[in-house]
Structure 1
Amino acid sequence: MKSRKTKKKLIAVSMAAAILLPLQLATVHAASPSTTAKNEAMVVKIHLKNRADLDKLLSYGIDLTENLNQHAGQGMEADAILTKEEIEILQLRGYKTDVISTQHEIQTLRQERQFTVQQEKDLAAAKDKVTILRANYFTSQGGKFLYVEAKTDAGSLNSTVLTATWDKGKNTASGSGGTAALERIEDADVYMYHSMLLPVDTRPSTVNITSSLGGTMEAKVTDWIGGKKPTPGKHYVSDFTDHYMTPTELDQRITKLAKQFSSIAEIVELPYETNGYRRKAQTIIGDQANPASAVVITSKKWGHEGGNSISLQAVKQEGANLPLSIDTKENTIVVKLATDPAGQSSSKAKDVIQKINAEAGSLVTATSFRGSSGEGLVASTEKLKLTDGLKAPESISREPHTMKAIRIGKHRDGSKAGVLLYSQEHAREWVTPLVSVETAERLLRNYSTDKATRKLVNNLDIFIVPSVNPDGATYSFYDYNWQRKNMTNHCGPEKSDPALRNTWGVDLNRNHGTGSVYDGYLGSSTDCQSSVYGGPTEQSEPEAKNLIRLADENPNVKFAMNVHSYGGYFMWPPGAYKALGRETLPRPTAGQEAFFWSASERILQQIKEYRGTTILPGRTGPVPDVLYSAAGNSADALWYNNRIYAWDFEVGADLWNAQERKWEPVGFQPPFEEGHEEAMEFANGLIGMLDVAYDYEHDKKAPTSKLHVKRSMENATLEFSTSEPATIYYTTNNKRPTFSSKKIKISGIREGAEKPVLEQTATVKWFAVDASGNIENHYKPEGKKDNYRSETVKVK
């Protein structure tokens, strides 16, 4: 064993190494605006020896993705967003790395997306042309059916929806017979037409087809002999996404849906406005290569509110012994540098800072460059225009954003079990909002025609938030595609020059108050530049507050799904642990854990049915068991504070390359063809989760349990079994069991229920309670009746 003195020395060295790397990594982001390819960010695979290596990597605060590959006895790999310079630093420390994808590859994806968006705009402006190919009525095996085929010249866009309305016969009102969305039919990636086949009560006279882009056509219904074999109850429409969507598009989409289906949907505006897609305008005067001589200039107003119209110039005066002075005319600031007896410029950065703040402080704030002394001389400059650096078109609002949720349900009064579905806490996860929007579309557009959908909408209260991080997502689309955090800059002057703009923001999935970095949990950082920055305080960010407010104000919410990417994981609380001893947040009871597992299997089966994607068992389970610690995450907040069964999807499972016999990661922003497939299969999963919630709401059957005793010469081991996932509360001290009694817990990581051991004869009293709150034998723990289960266990 090492001496205590030696141990302390090793710990000190380890801490020094852990501190050294983040400081060096931070300097990488300090490159000038003319960043070279050396500082381009990319997705990189880091090879690790063991979990200790991973925890060390977490302590560095680098930008890890959620994709972690573990190999039995052969180490593991973690993906991260790194610059070339950061890669070199890690390699110097002995890490082996492989590049997965570069930022340049995203440009093509952006262009493809913009082409599709422009197509939609052009078609919407001109109205598409709708043609009804066939409108037939027929009977078969005693049933009456309406079959319609229609086509739109905007059919190449998946988001173009055709809706049919029909009457009940001659001289009846249009729409009196019913309404339904048509299903888009394509073959070999070519759009053919839209169609529907539905049972009807009476023979319609006319049918009207309306496109979501404005086109419309009406046709008479004709009799049809023969035709397709009818499949009553099978009409289910899906596939409503054809490009990645910005937060602006997402808001428009769900607002339009709520308006169209106002009887079963509404928009909920969340109370806390975000900071907005906005920045102060900035520039730097002086030589950045010599920090002591550089000055950072920041506008008082936001860039779009006037900051971008400010310009500044430092000029050398002609003459000797001239004083430092400032000329300000409207939005132009001229710094006239002082001269020495030889007529050379002699103004130090600290003097220029003081002078600007004193005489041009109504327009700008001047600060030293990254906390430098300001003792260096300021050189003259060309006229510099301050800019906020934002690249989104002017049509994208810079103002604080009102976050929106679409609430779906026939009864939206809190009387039904609530489900919260939310996505894009991390800005760069472009696929995740598509999962949410696709789910909303399916629920609303299938309501009138699909019995299973109608069952869910009639019996659940569903809240869907497509983008929890609208500001960061906008920044990811238009400025820096790897943006993870929101856009709020909590860094002080030392870390707020324009070259560091991509490092600002708070990780919204680390900003919650349960198991946070401020409570000593691992996987978050207090460094404002870290990719996993937990914020200046717990719950500091409006986006995080909105999510919790939604849960707090709707106590009927019993289930939640946080949709992330990428890696193909399916996880639940606890989500964080402390580094020392790997102490997790309290584990669920064995019964609760069993419910998480049983519900997960149902949901994962729905995902697999789309294209055969299997979420691996090794990537299913509590977060720290299958991934890594994530201090301050939202699922933990919902589970521990609101007792909501909260899961995390990680869409984008690795794809199997059969030729090379290896798994290949898909990334945050895969080609849309892959992103579309991920959206479809995980929307299946969300529908599966709603099925779980429906069964929970309608479960009125109490569980039953059995006690199995295994005796030895010295003790007796107790093992409980239940008819369904249920928590066992028990006593061995002859007291009535209550909700304050001992509970059967999980015996260990990835293990089953614990088995208590009796050292002496005792009477075991217990009861079981399932996830829906049904109690065995209808026992009332706080009542007076003794209809709990009881058995005396003898120990020799």
Structure 2
Amino acid sequence: MLLASALLLGAPGAAAFAQDDEELRLVKVTAQNAASIQQLESRFDVGYIGEPTEAAVYLTPSDEALLRAEGYQVGAVVEDNSTWEARKAEIAAADQAEALAQKLAEEGKAGKGAKNAVDVPGETVIMRAYTFTNYAGRFLYVEAHNKAQTTTTGPTLQMSYAGADGVYRPAVGFSQSGITPDGNDSTTQGNKLNDAGQYMYHRVLVALRGADANLAAGDITVRVAASTGSTDTAKVTEWAAKALPARVAAFQKDFITKYMNPSEAYERLDGLAAEFPGIAEIVHLPEKTNGYQRQAMAMMAGTTALGSNPNATNAPLAVQLFSKAMGHLGGNLISAEFKNPGANDAPLSVAVTGNDIVVNLATGPTGALTSTAAQVVAAITASPAASALVNAYTYGGNAGAGIVPAHAKAQLSDFLNGPAAIKGPFDQRVLRIGKQRDGTKTGVFIYCNQHAREWVTTITCVETAERLLRNYATDPTTKEYVDNLDIFILPSVNPDGGHYSFFDAAAQRRNLKNHCPITATTGGIGNRGSWGVDLNRNNNIGTLFDGYSGASSSCTSDTFAGPSETSEPEIRNEHWVVDTFPKIKFAINIHTHGGYFMWAPGAYISAGRVTLPSPNIGIEKYFFDVADEILSHIRSSRGTAILPQRTGPIADVLYSAAGNSADDQYYRKGIIAYSFEAGAQKLAVNATTGAISRTDVGFQPCFAGLGTGGGTGTCNTVQINEGHDSAMEFADGNYGLLQGALEYSKDVTPPSTTIEYSAAQTGSEPINFRFNWVKEPSVIYYTKDGSTPTVIDCDNPGTSSTRCYSNQGPRRPGEVLTISALGVHDVKWMSVDIKGNQEAVKTQRFLIAADQENGTANGTVPATLALSLGTPPAFGAFTPGIAKDYTAATTANVITTAGDATLSVADPSTTNTGKLVNGTFTLAQPIQAAASSLGGTGSALKPVGGSASPTSLLTYTGPKSNDAVTLSFKQTIGANEALRTGSYSKALTFTLSTTTP
């Protein structure tokens, strides 16, 4: 027998070993000090370290016991096997959901046939589906909305499509990683759109390759499916494919040879007005701009450059000088010098000789300079001669306690490189084109270069003007535009900023007005390149000041809204145009770049993403309808198709732009106002993978060859001539706008709409219905209680039973309405188009748990004309020798069943017709008669005619029963008329007759 014993020795540094069957868990461990936590990393797998005295460590139960024995605190379990199993289950569920969405997209639901005529929208709704062809190939674009989505969660979505063969292609997925509407789309799949903390919708663009590139829109069906099992299908519409008006073969275009600065553009339009005075004129706008000009300035701060802001060390000693005269008006001639007098105890003094300012700095007992920046500013301000030339300031409101060093003579400058001829306030003007410019024709306002760096826009406006005037005599379509429209073209809304972009800083966006306070660092000389107001944020609808997003209160921001609404003369001039010419119904604000085509609403309040009121679906459809005309014109130029995803309300396809011009014109003036971004992205398709790449062209792409672009454009070999070609195609787009305006001006036809419903009669089930437009868009007004609909304010319907037919949400189809109450329901509706033409009221009856049969009850009415007369009238005694009118009256009763009837009177006598007789004696004047009643239309007293031409007394336009008639008579007797003793009388015949018995 062998007895053995063993002693287990342990030490704090020994490695920990888990039993094979023990579970590792990630648990929270804390210690008294950081060193103890750090020791764990050499012994255990430490997941993360949080605070210095805590960590998450992978431990077995044995390890936990050991650490407790060592003085560590073992806390909550962060992860264990159950957590890992749950993650694996989630992954498996996600894989299964994606597979289900793909299967549903490609195959549809088992046993599910065609959709009912009108289904209530489900969880997944296809919003839009288009095909289009451009220079890069053929594409399918789909938007879909899923009600179960949030910005971060939601079911997986897949899209598939089928051609005429009904075979669905492999599904394309939508990424669940959200992008904003103006974000970068995936090259191979769809994207989820989020904005201002709200889920919006999903979108996907697919290249149709191989045989599918030949599919017509009408042959394609798209299906979108979610991993929850919901699906929706829709047919496809061809995008930007309207037939265009004819042009003569010799149509003239391509009048632009280079980028033009604002002065050149205005001068070109002045010349056109002078050349074509019969159809064009210049209209000067009421206010001049602030001007391409600045005060001359210099930053006197030691070694700091004259045009820069000082660093923190030099800020207390800096003195800023601004000329009182603008630089080009004498400010640039001013110089300043800060001198060390080279003597002890010298006083601070200022001397001025002509335009030269010399500041003799003060010194102390040892000759050291002692003048502070604040003292130098005060001395210059106190000098009548110096303060007549300049204003002096410390930097950014600094106390100016720093000692000012000597500074060599420095020339003040406005730092503007443009020629003197363009400096100073600018006289803005519009070119007004039209054969009849008297305010009676439909107006169109085309304006460009609101943002300075967008050079393509200016030449687009000029090209449009050239085409209209030079083709007027030869092209019938152009002639029709000029003869029937009143066209206003403003080539540069922002001439000051435009000049600055050309001659000084290519990236300039705003105008040049400085609203920065000199007491703030933003007002410092070195920030001059950041001064100015974004004119497309300076309007007075949906502004920064109203709480809307997309503009800045910072005076150096590129989206600075200005100190107040309409603070800038350029915007006041823009407003003057639409206010002065109220017939302007269409407007287009041309920008670059990106290829966006947009309209109201253009702004939202960020909290909850509350936009300005969206146009009714009928108005939105009109925006899209005219847009289709414009985009079709653009595509005709060189095959550029503006993408559907970039067409729509500004706030939905780009971003919120508080205080923009399109919102002002739509909400304030009712103008169909567009905001255009020329310079569409260049698309390319990978022939193997179908991946779609997009290339931005920039604000100033090459106009012609390499080297002909500005400083903020792309000039590579792929985009040679992009500036020129973009201007040409968007000038074509302006023709599309004019075509839309022309069609509006001639529209006198009421719109037509129909109703589509799930059933006209059900046992007890609800009935769903919606409205459809037959030809043109219109606002549909309806009632569900049988009352006649009226025109109402769609945003504020009040207590009226009339409602406006709307959409399911932004960019979505028309709503599906439901009636569920048992009984008989009459839905009445009518519509009004954008011109104001109104459709007649229509009715559709719905029966729920009710039935109706048409029956008849009849009776006959014989043809009847009945006339009865009252007591014969008597004039009484005639008095000889006195001129007098004698009157008499009687009554009659009329019954007529005819469509019309006439009561007449005649004298059947062939002698002394119409006159009273007494034997052989006759009165000189004829008797006059008249009749009146409530049911007929009478006439004034007139002589009684003979049987051949009876006198009409009373007419009826329809049947009457027992109409009480008053018959009036008058006999005139003169003072010298001889009267014979006896009675004067005459038998008259009254007749009731008809032409439509």
* Whole-angstrom CA distance in 1 between matches of 2:679 and 2:536: 19
Q: Tell me, yes or no, if the aligned pair for 2:617 and 2:807 is still in contact at 8 Å.
A: yes
Match status 1:500 vs 2:515: no
Q: What is aligned with 2:12?
A: none
Match status 1:249 vs 2:264: yes
Q: Tell me, yes or no, if the aligned pair for 1:66 and 1:565 is still in contact at 8 Å.
A: no
Per the TM alignment, residue 555 of structure 1 is displaced from its structure 2 partner at its CA by 1.0
Match status 1:363 vs 2:363: no
Q: What is aligned with 1:600?
A: 627
1:717 maps to amino acid: N
| Aligned partner of 1:286 among 301, 304, 317 | 301
Cα shift readout 1:302-352 (whole Å, capped 9, x = no counterpart): 111111111111111222232221112221111111112221001111111
Match status 1:277 vs 2:340: no
CA distance change for structure 1 residues 606 and 775 in 2, over 3 Å: closer, same or farther? same
Q: Tell me, yes or no, if the aligned pair for 1:66 and 1:567 is still in contact at 8 Å.
A: no
Per the TM alignment, residue 70 of structure 1 is displaced from its structure 2 partner at its CA by 3.3
Match status 1:298 vs 2:322: yes
Q: What is aligned with 1:648?
A: 675
Note the 1:203-222 alignment, pairs <5 A. Answer: none
Cα shift readout 1:225-283 (whole Å, capped 9, x = no counterpart): xxxxxx99432111100100011111110011111111011111111110011000000
Q: Tell me, yes or no, if the aligned pair for 1:280 and 1:302 is still in contact at 8 Å.
A: yes
| Aligned partner of 1:377 among 403, 415, 439 | 403
* Whole-angstrom CA distance in 2 between matches of 1:308 and 1:572: 45
Q: Tell me, yes or no, if the aligned pair for 2:629 and 2:736 is still in contact at 8 Å.
A: yes
Per the TM alignment, residue 755 of structure 1 is displaced from its structure 2 partner at its CA by 2.8
* Whole-angstrom CA distance in 2 between matches of 1:627 and 1:461: 31
* Whole-angstrom CA distance in 2 between matches of 1:408 and 1:641: 25
CA distance change for structure 1 residues 492 and 340 in 2, over 3 Å: closer, same or farther? same
Moved more, 543-552 or 318-327: 318-327
Match status 1:764 vs 2:827: yes
* Whole-angstrom CA distance in 2 between matches of 1:765 and 1:570: 36
| Aligned partner of 2:460 among 424, 432, 435 | 435
CA distance change for structure 1 residues 66 and 729 in 2, over 3 Å: closer, same or farther? closer
Q: Tell me, yes or no, if the aligned pair for 1:324 and 1:338 is still in contact at 8 Å.
A: yes
User: TM-score under structure 1 normalisation?
Assistant: 0.69
CA distance change for structure 1 residues 578 and 714 in 2, over 3 Å: closer, same or farther? farther
Q: What is aligned with 1:340?
A: 364
* Whole-angstrom CA distance in 1 between matches of 2:402 and 2:253: 64
Per the TM alignment, residue 652 of structure 1 is displaced from its structure 2 partner at its CA by 0.6
Q: What is aligned with 1:311?
A: 335
Match status 1:698 vs 2:746: yes
* Whole-angstrom CA distance in 1 between matches of 2:545 and 2:450: 20
CA distance change for structure 1 residues 496 and 269 in 2, over 3 Å: closer, same or farther? same
* Whole-angstrom CA distance in 2 between matches of 1:551 and 1:240: 28
Q: What is aligned with 1:725?
A: 777
| Aligned partner of 2:476 among 451, 458, 464 | 451
Q: Tell me, yes or no, if the aligned pair for 1:578 and 1:584 is still in contact at 8 Å.
A: yes
CA distance change for structure 1 residues 73 and 471 in 2, over 3 Å: closer, same or farther? same
Q: Tell me, yes or no, if the aligned pair for 1:420 and 1:559 is still in contact at 8 Å.
A: yes
CA distance change for structure 1 residues 795 and 382 in 2, over 3 Å: closer, same or farther? farther
* Whole-angstrom CA distance in 2 between matches of 1:388 and 1:481: 17
1:668 maps to amino acid: F
| Aligned partner of 1:638 among 653, 665, 679 | 665
Note the 1:69-88 alignment, pairs <5 A. Answer: 69-71=184-186
1:756 maps to amino acid: L
* Whole-angstrom CA distance in 2 between matches of 1:240 and 1:647: 25
Match status 1:329 vs 2:344: no
Q: Tell me, yes or no, if the aligned pair for 1:67 and 1:566 is still in contact at 8 Å.
A: no
Match status 1:752 vs 2:817: no
CA distance change for structure 1 residues 667 and 560 in 2, over 3 Å: closer, same or farther? same
CA distance change for structure 1 residues 567 and 714 in 2, over 3 Å: closer, same or farther? same
Q: What is aligned with 2:516?
A: 491
Q: Tell me, yes or no, if the aligned pair for 2:363 and 2:371 is still in contact at 8 Å.
A: yes
CA distance change for structure 1 residues 794 and 535 in 2, over 3 Å: closer, same or farther? farther
Q: What is aligned with 1:738?
A: 790
CA distance change for structure 1 residues 298 and 75 in 2, over 3 Å: closer, same or farther? farther
Specify every segment of 5 or more residues in structure 1 that has no aligned partner in the other structure, as ranges.
1-49, 54-64, 79-230, 778-787
* Whole-angstrom CA distance in 1 between matches of 2:150 and 2:300: 46
Q: Tell me, yes or no, if the aligned pair for 1:70 and 1:77 is still in contact at 8 Å.
A: no
Match status 1:413 vs 2:407: no
* Whole-angstrom CA distance in 2 between matches of 1:382 and 1:484: 35
Q: What is aligned with 2:562?
A: 535
Q: Tell me, yes or no, if the aligned pair for 1:487 and 1:505 is still in contact at 8 Å.
A: yes
Q: Tell me, yes or no, if the aligned pair for 1:69 and 1:77 is still in contact at 8 Å.
A: no
* Whole-angstrom CA distance in 2 between matches of 1:603 and 1:529: 36
Q: Tell me, yes or no, if the aligned pair for 1:432 and 1:564 is still in contact at 8 Å.
A: yes
* Whole-angstrom CA distance in 1 between matches of 2:828 and 2:431: 46
Per the TM alignment, residue 403 of structure 1 is displaced from its structure 2 partner at its CA by 0.7
* Whole-angstrom CA distance in 2 between matches of 1:524 and 1:323: 50
Q: Tell me, yes or no, if the aligned pair for 1:246 and 1:477 is still in contact at 8 Å.
A: yes
Q: Secondary structure at the match of 1:477?
A: helix
Q: Tell me, yes or no, if the aligned pair for 1:706 and 1:721 is still in contact at 8 Å.
A: yes
Q: Tell me, yes or no, if the aligned pair for 1:286 and 1:380 is still in contact at 8 Å.
A: no
Q: Secondary structure at the match of 2:446?
A: strand
Percent of counterpart pairs with the same letter? 44
Q: Tell me, yes or no, if the aligned pair for 2:182 and 2:653 is still in contact at 8 Å.
A: no
CA distance change for structure 1 residues 759 and 317 in 2, over 3 Å: closer, same or farther? farther
2:517 maps to amino acid: G
Q: Which has the higher contact order (CA 8 A, sep 6+)?
A: 1
Q: Compute the RMSD of aligned alpha carbons.
A: 2.4
Note the 1:7-156 alignment, pairs <5 A. Answer: 68-71=183-186
Cα shift readout 1:375-421 (whole Å, capped 9, x = no counterpart): 11111100011111110122x32221111111111111111111111
Q: Tell me, yes or no, if the aligned pair for 1:573 and 1:587 is still in contact at 8 Å.
A: yes
Q: What is aligned with 1:581?
A: 608
* Whole-angstrom CA distance in 2 between matches of 1:668 and 1:517: 26
1:266 maps to amino acid: E
Cα shift readout 1:513-560 (whole Å, capped 9, x = no counterpart): 011111111110111100000111001111111111100111111111
Per the TM alignment, residue 756 of structure 1 is displaced from its structure 2 partner at its CA by 3.3
* Whole-angstrom CA distance in 2 between matches of 1:506 and 1:51: 36
Per the TM alignment, residue 714 of structure 1 is displaced from its structure 2 partner at its CA by 6.0
Q: Tell me, yes or no, if the aligned pair for 2:247 and 2:477 is still in contact at 8 Å.
A: no
Q: Tell me, yes or no, if the aligned pair for 2:538 and 2:660 is still in contact at 8 Å.
A: yes
Q: Tell me, yes or no, if the aligned pair for 1:254 and 1:437 is still in contact at 8 Å.
A: yes
Q: What is aligned with 2:701?
A: 670
Per the TM alignment, residue 658 of structure 1 is displaced from its structure 2 partner at its CA by 5.3
Per the TM alignment, residue 746 of structure 1 is displaced from its structure 2 partner at its CA by 2.5
| Aligned partner of 2:731 among 683, 691, 702 | 683
Q: Tell me, yes or no, if the aligned pair for 1:485 and 1:505 is still in contact at 8 Å.
A: yes
| Aligned partner of 2:539 among 512, 534, 538 | 512
2:700 maps to amino acid: Q
* Whole-angstrom CA distance in 2 between matches of 1:255 and 1:651: 25
CA distance change for structure 1 residues 767 and 352 in 2, over 3 Å: closer, same or farther? same
Per the TM alignment, residue 66 of structure 1 is displaced from its structure 2 partner at its CA by 11
Match status 1:425 vs 2:450: yes
CA distance change for structure 1 residues 556 and 749 in 2, over 3 Å: closer, same or farther? same
2:287 maps to amino acid: Y
Moved more, 733-742 or 482-491: 733-742
Paired positions, count? 573
